[in-house]
Amino acid sequence: MAQPLVKKDDDRDDEMDYSPFMGIEKGAVLQEARVFNDPQLDPRRCSQVITKLLYLLNQGETFTKIEATEVFFAVTKLFQSKDVGLRRMVYLMIKELSPSADEVIIVTSSLMKDMNSRTDMYRANAIRVLCRITDGTLLTQIERYLKQAIVDKNPVVASAALVSGIHLLQTNPEIVKRWSNEVQEAVQSRAALVQFHALGLLHQIRQNDRLAVSKLVTSLTRGTVRSPLAQCLLIRYTSQVIRESGMNNQTGERPFYDYLEGCLRHKAEMVIFEAARAITELSGVTSRELNPAITVLQLFLSSSKPVLRFAAVRTLNKVAMTHPTAVTNCNIDMESLISDQNRSIATLAITTLLKTGNESSVDRLMKQITNFMSDIADEFKIVVVEAIRSLCLKFPLKYRSLMNFLSNILREEGGFDYKKAIVDSIVILIRDIPDAKESGLLHLCEFIEDCEFTYLSTQILHFLGNEGPKTSDPSKYIRYIYNRVILENATVRAAAVSTLAKFGAMVDSLKPRIFILLKRCLFDNDDEVRDRATLYLNTLGGDGSVVETEGEVKEFLFGSFDVPLSNMETSLKNYIQDPSEESFDINSVPKEVKSQPLAEKKAPGKKPTGLSAPPSAPASAADAYEKLLLSIPEFASFGKLFKSSAPVELTEAETEYAVNVVKHIFDNHVVLQYNCTNTIPEQLLENVIVVVDASDAEEFAEIASKPLRSLPYDSPGQIFVAFEKPGGVPAVGKFSNVLRFIVKEVDPSTGEAEEDGVEDEYQLEDLEVVAADYMLKVGVSNFKNAWESMGSDFERLEEYGLGPRDSLTEAVNAVISLLGMQPCEGTEVVATNSRSHTCLLSGVFIGNVKVLVRLSFGIDAQKEVAMKLVVRSEDESVCVAIHEIVASG
């Protein structure tokens, strides 16, 4: 309904569009709805009122039961009108009101009459409404009409029936699955939308049958799909089949690749792009397979349509992460996109060029980036910063221009995430490029002079305390640090005191000045600052004399805290509750990690805010693993480390090579860390790699490996192999491992190795990634309270037969081991000769989702064990995943 432009006051030159819904109120609109009862209906007026009602509903306005019923009955009277436009509004209104079961009966006859109308628009919309508001009982009565509608000659009617089938499949799958023949016929329709909707419904009907999906793809890739939309769907289904089938081991060819390549020559741009994207996302894609897709995407870069340019550059940006050389040919085209009006396209072009550019193009790129950084949002700036960090690590000689660029943008306006990304990048560059340390530290010092984020100030001060004393002139940083004591809040002041103490410990010539500054901090108004100053003065010897700091003091200031904080807290509480004349001894604190209780649920859907390290690795080891993995550029983008397993031995004891492996689990990746030791004094191993065969792990695709250059005698080394897997999914599989290396003989008298070596290999044990690897053992202090507070919104219950077992204890232990969860309240212990048992389990599933499980076991005289599994979680998909693990285990 077009509304006239309304001018504001005469003294205003500009004109402004006013919304036709401005200022409407529910009460007034309900009063207007009385026009539905007029003997002489005004279709235009009625349509306007329904439009207002729909607007209110879609704005979140709620109608009481009485109001909704009155509106519904008033709307049903509009079926008397023959106005086509009004009838469409009536259909919309009934769908949005979602009448209750006793009210549906009122309109059922009218809708069924419209289903058989000669007016196609009535038939299509009546089908949509009926399928939206009906239940299973009525659905069986109209099933015959729906089947006919699927193969109707009118594409609008056929599409309405197919779309309704897609929605009904969620609630009445058994009925919809009986329509397979009609849907199969609709797939051959000449109407583009009908073919698209039919293919979508047919795939959903068959999606749980891998063979049926493969047959569907095989039959349709022979050229029977004409609709571009349907063709895009088919390409996606084909990609799914390729992922599940893997490479053809006999011929080395990838199934259906020819079809994808053929789609690159399609008339429709959407089909060409979908095929190109599918090829670039193939696991283990080769350069030969990539070339046709890259060529097509390069043509799109010069398209006049912004959407095509954006799609192409975004896809090339992803490809550049794994195959940068394949994208290099597109660099000239992408350089022209840096000045593109669409800032999203420009940002992606810049970051892709940073990943694929050569050393000579760095300075030119920096100048171009500087011009448009102020025009883009923080989220795009972060992407650029991360790309610059990667480029600097790739070309360390260019650190000056890249570091200057980072420091300049650090002083500009920006949010916390943006500033943190820059600080993290500078810190990584300082650690990895020794020449960049001095300038990088000064840039960070200048930043904290006016930093508004406490977290970043403390992070930089901590880093400055570790790295500043090792520079050529440590004294120049003291001014920046002490300014924080004078000007900042208590948290930053406390961090600055610790940093000053580190300078005093490492640089003996600065000790007298450090003591003076620390003594001034004794009068601070915050107790944490005063306590730290007192502690460090006593530790360093606060008399001002210049004496060399002892190794124990340096270890205290710089060493890692090897006692878990949770254990420290528990021990201190116990000490306070049970006072003793003896002083508290930190050596009495246990160092093994205890299971931490899950945080009680405060609000629906709230995720746990803190998780303990897995019991398989102490907190310090878990932190060390994460720090180690983040320091490796290939793995730095994998995100937060979820869990690291205990080491799994891959060799027998007392063999010539000792190898164990640690499984590091991320949301989308799994990194295998092979810890290798050479136990033969007369040998030096070089170019050591682990060749991993993942043919029995279909969901895993190897994307990176980090070999070991040299493995001397009795000097442990690490080899890393990274795999990509579906995100948030407990993918499992078996990996076979072979250790390959070049062995060189070592002269025992001189310790020197021969120049020439011999290639050799050593077979290792197989390794399995199991479902339990995706679960953290985290207990709860009160299972009953945790269970009730979790709520039954996503509860899922199933019964399983576990077959014959020697005892209930064996069955209970097998399920606990399978799920990898933490038994609660001692329920893992089964009473002797018990015929039934209940076990309570708790854990955190990958994605940091809390899970609680009740297991009820029973055993009969034939020792057949039955089990009832009840799962509660904050995420329904996790409940489903737990049941799938048990069903497949």
pLDDT exceeds cutoff 70 at 723: yes
Instruction: Tell me how far apart the alpha carbons of residues 321 and 777 are, in angstroms, rounded to a whole number.
Output: 34
Rounded to an integer, the average pLDDT of 492-501 is 92
Q: What is the pLDDT of residues 269-301, one digit of tens each?
A: 999 999 999 999 888 888 888 889 999 998 998
State the pLDDT at residue 557: 64
- Fold type of domain 619-769: Immunoglobulin-like (2.60.40)
> Which of 48-62, 309-323, 823-837 shows the lowest per-residue confidence on average (mean pLDDT)?
823-837
Token reading at 150? 């699927």
Q: How many CB atoms lie within 10 A of CB 510?
A: 19
Rounded to an integer, the average pLDDT of 646-662 is 87
Instruction: Tell me how far apart the alpha carbons of residues 803 and 800 are, in angstroms, rounded to a whole number.
Output: 9
Asked if residue 595 lies in contact with residue 777, where contact means CB atoms within 8 angstroms, the answer is yes
Query: pLDDT > 90: what percent of the chain?
Result: 13
Query: How many Cα atoms sit within 13 Å of 365 on the Cβ side?
Result: 28
Q: Which of 157, 90, 152 shows the shortest CA–CA distance to 121? A: 157
Rounded to an integer, the average pLDDT of 423-431 is 87
State the pLDDT at residue 871: 92
Q: Three-state secondary structure along 790-836?
A: HCCCCCEEEEEEEEECCCHHHHHHHHHHHHCCEECCCCCCCCCCCCE
Ranked by mean pLDDT, the top range of 114-118, 243-247, 313-317 is: 313-317
Instruction: Tell me how far apart the alpha carbons of residues 386 and 566 are, in angstroms, rounded to a whole number.
Output: 34
- 559 pLDDT band, cuts 50/70/90, is low
Q: Which of 693, 768, 780, 779 shows the shortest CA–CA distance to 730? A: 768
- 851 pLDDT band, cuts 50/70/90, is very high
Token reading at 585? 């001894």
User: How confident is the prediction for the chain on average, in pLDDT?
Assistant: 82
For domain 773-888, which architecture applies?
2-Layer Sandwich (3.30)
Asked if residue 241 lies in contact with residue 213, where contact means CB atoms within 8 angstroms, the answer is yes
Query: How many Cα atoms sit within 13 Å of 167 on the Cβ side?
Result: 15
> Which of 245-249, 420-424, 466-470, 877-881 shows the lowest per-residue confidence on average (mean pLDDT)?
245-249
- 555 pLDDT band, cuts 50/70/90, is low
Asked if residue 225 lies in contact with residue 231, where contact means CB atoms within 8 angstroms, the answer is yes
Rounded to an integer, the average pLDDT of 766-786 is 85
* Sign (positive or negative) of CA dihedral 351, 355, 357, 358: positive
Domain boundaries defined on the chain: 619-769, 773-888
State the pLDDT at residue 13: 43
What pTM does this model have? 0.52
Asked if residue 630 lies in contact with residue 640, where contact means CB atoms within 8 angstroms, the answer is no
- 853 pLDDT band, cuts 50/70/90, is very high
Instruction: Tell me how far apart the alpha carbons of residues 830 and 184 are, in angstroms, rounded to a whole number.
Output: 54
